[in-house]
Structure 1
Amino acid sequence: MTTPIIEHRFRVALHDTDAAGVLFFAHLFRHAHDAYEAMMVRIGWPLDGLIRGRQIGLPLVHVEADFRHPMRHGDQVAVKIERAGLTERDFSLAYGFFIHEFEVATALSVHAAIDPRFGKRQRLSPELAHALTALPPCAEPGV
């Protein structure tokens, strides 16, 4: 991975784990979303402002994840984000989850631009598209 614009950190809490003592799979997406929210603040497009201002909706339309190594209670995890794709109507983000320097999981999210008043697809504003280009591109083609 190239140097990300943001590195979000979290500690795996007891409530994050399942009966086997590892991170419950769905909680990976919660932590990815926390990293996404922090990234949007960092690039100048905080989601709370977008939601309150009803300027644009950016719902998830696709997510996927791969787990390579268990994350257990107490593990300190760093989430690194890269831009996996950008079109005029959507963008995708690649997330790497690291314990120390070892990548333990990856995720991908695709966000579509919608007009929140009508729920219809729309173009990303040129300003938002430009802000998203500040993210480093994903090093893996096809992600």
Structure 2
Amino acid sequence: MPLEPYAYALRIRLHDTDAAGVLFYGHLFRHAHDAYEAFMEHLGFPLKDLIGTGASALPLPITQAQARYERPLRLGDRVRVELRVAAVRRRSFALDYRFLDDRGHTCARARTVHCLVSQEDAGLPAELHQALIARVASAGPSP
């Protein structure tokens, strides 16, 4: 049975919007990143510990990001972000995000790809790889 997507809630604030009171397009990725941080902590891999500094730091930059906007998100809207693991490889993983308004309408979709860039590491740590693989069953359609 597929896992439910990880859910993250937010509200569109004034500083998120453009002059028309609609979510400024670039801020969608900021909210996706906030959901990603909360998701990784939920899995037991808080980013402050995972990517931190020093010898144990694990660089996982976003190497690809895309979004599709379907309906406007406006000032004051309550939004539910559903995050699903779309793919896991030895040195990377992809996350899909679906942004829903309070009526359940899909307003936007996004995908980010995170890649291990350190040449010294053979791949993602086994515990992180397994935690992400366990979530792949919940993957929905690509954006």
Task: Name the TM-score, length of structure 2 as normaliser.
Answer: 0.88
Tell me the CA shift for residue 134 of structure 1: 2.9
Q: Quote the residue 2:43 is aligned against.
A: 43
**Displacement after TM superposition at 1:23 (Å):** 0.2
The root-mean-square deviation of aligned C-alpha atoms, in Å, is 2.0
Looking at structure 1, the residues matched to 9 and 71 of structure 2 have their Cα atoms a distance apart, in angstroms, of: 17
Q: Secondary structure at the match of 1:97?
A: strand
Q: Which aligned pairs between 1:49-128 and structure 2 lie closer than 5 A? A: 49-53=49-53, 54-100=56-102, 101-115=104-118, 122-128=122-128
Q: Is the 8 A contact 1:112 1:121 kept in 2?
A: no
Runs (4+) off by over 3 Å:
none
Report sequence identity in percent.
41
Counterpart of 1:37, as a letter, is E
TM-score (norm 1): 0.88
Are the structure 2 counterparts of residues 121 and 109 from structure 1 closer, same or farther at C-alpha, using a change threshold of 3 Å? Answer: farther
Tell me the secondary structure at the aligned position of residue 18 of structure 2. Answer: coil
Alpha-carbon separation, structure 2, partners of 1:2 and 1:75: 27
Q: How does 1:119-138 map to 2 (within 5 A)?
A: 122-135=122-135, 136-138=137-139
SS at the partner of 1:20? coil
Give per-residue Cα distances to partners, 1:65-117, cap 9 Å, x unaligned.
Answer: 000000000000000011111110100000000012111100000000122xx
Q: List alignment gaps of at least 5 residues for structure 1.
A: none
Q: Give the 3-state SS of the residue equivalent to 1:127 in structure 2.
A: helix
Q: Aligned equivalents of 2:77 and 2:89: distance in 1?
A: 36
List gaps (5 residues or longer) in structure 2: none
Measure the CA separation in 2 of the matches of 1:2 and 1:104.
22
